[in-house]
Amino acid sequence: MSDLRIAVLGVGMMGADHVARITSRIAGARVSVVNDYLAEKAERVAATVPGCRVIGDPLDAIADSDVDAVLLATPGPTHEKQLLACLEHRKPVLCEKPLTTDVATSLEVVKREVELGHKLIQVGFMRRFDHEYAQLKALLDAGELGAPLVMHCAHRNPSVPPNFDSSMIVKDSLVHEVDVTRFLFGEEIASVQIICPAANSVAPRGLQDPQIAIFRTQSGKHVDVEVFVTTGVAYEVRTEVVGERGSAMIGLDVGLVRRSFPGTWGGQITPSFKERFGQAYDTEVQRWVDAVRSGANVDGPTAWDGYAAAAVCEAGVQSLESGAPVAVELATRIGS
């Protein structure tokens, strides 16, 4: 079987990382086309891949006959149009989160895919492919902790881009814990509350950082998340589940522990999500490529998962303004 020809749209940090990944570590696929609104950047990335072309218009790239599947790493506001084009051309697509930037258009995308009767969209919630999250999920599914009751999470970034505002902490960062909650507990989130402690004085003015999120799931499970994106330290993502018969924690960065002069000990924390979740991205993309080549097209979070996450984040942004718990409004489930 010949290699899957992938168009990577958007070659900023994440897209360029995916191009390198597909070119050097993924079996059965190659990048045939790249696109970016910064033409020079697209040319630079294309030059690193033998036989790769730049196509200036993302919709032309999707339609191109040299493209079997699409990896979307473009800015969120462009996703709706690009996803609909992928559906129109029946091209499988791995879409970095968010599915789209609002709930109404996310639901529209889900509906269009259901109307097609053909699953084509996978959403890039990469944590589901991380070995530690997969182990935690297996432990819970095997009932080893008894029924899970509570989850405590910390999500810390050393810094974020200058365009980050308080609502992006919800939609861009907390969204991962939204998906992790739905993935680990296998149920929807019923309400969200965002509590705003005193803001970090070294954060950009007006940025509400840190934030404490509280989710209540449909069956009443409690999840709390500290999201703190200007720590100046390193990348830290920890998750602890407490069940009726024990607890389990992941994300302790327990690699090499060194003891040295003058009487210190310790290891290293990963600097960013690219390193922390590097293995997860590799596994995610390899499984997606294998799924597309087998005709299944999707092996991971679906368009519905992207829509459900958008609905929780929208309620979260409302709570950020009011400080009160906000109920999550979800449409009747369609698709899978």
Burial of 39 (0-12, 13-18, 19+ CB in 10 A): exposed
- Here the contacts of 16-24 (C-beta below 8 Å, separation 24 or greater) are 16/45, 17/274, 17/281, 18/71, 18/73, 18/281, 18/285, 19/45, 19/48, 19/49, 20/48, 21/281, 21/282, 21/285, 22/71, 22/285, 22/289, 23/48, 23/49
Between 151 and 229, CB nearer to ligand ISE: 229
Question: Any contact of residue 153 with ligand ISE (CB under 6 A)?
Answer: no
CB of 157 to ligand ISE, least distance (A): 5
Instruction: Pick the binder of ligand ISE from 71, 160, 194, 291 (CB under 6 A).
Output: 160
DSSP string, 130-186: SHHHHHHHHHHHTTTTSSEEEEEEEEE-S---TT--HHHIIIIIIHHHHHHHHHHH-
Question: Any contact of residue 281 with ligand ISE (CB under 6 A)?
Answer: no
Instruction: Pick the binder of ligand ISE from 105, 173, 297, 319 (CB under 6 A).
Output: 173
Question: Any contact of residue 176 with ligand ISE (CB under 6 A)?
Answer: yes
Q: Which residue is nearest to ligand ISE (CB)?
A: 173
Question: Any contact of residue 229 with ligand ISE (CB under 6 A)?
Answer: yes
**Binding piece for ligand ISE, criterion CB under 6 A, among 38-46, 68-76, 171-179, 253-261:** 171-179
CB of 176 to ligand ISE, least distance (A): 6
Between 74 and 157, CB nearer to ligand ISE: 157
Count interface residues toward ligand ISE (CB under 6 A). Answer: 7
* Residue numbers at the binding site for ligand ISE (CB under 6 A): 157, 160, 172-173, 176, 229, 273
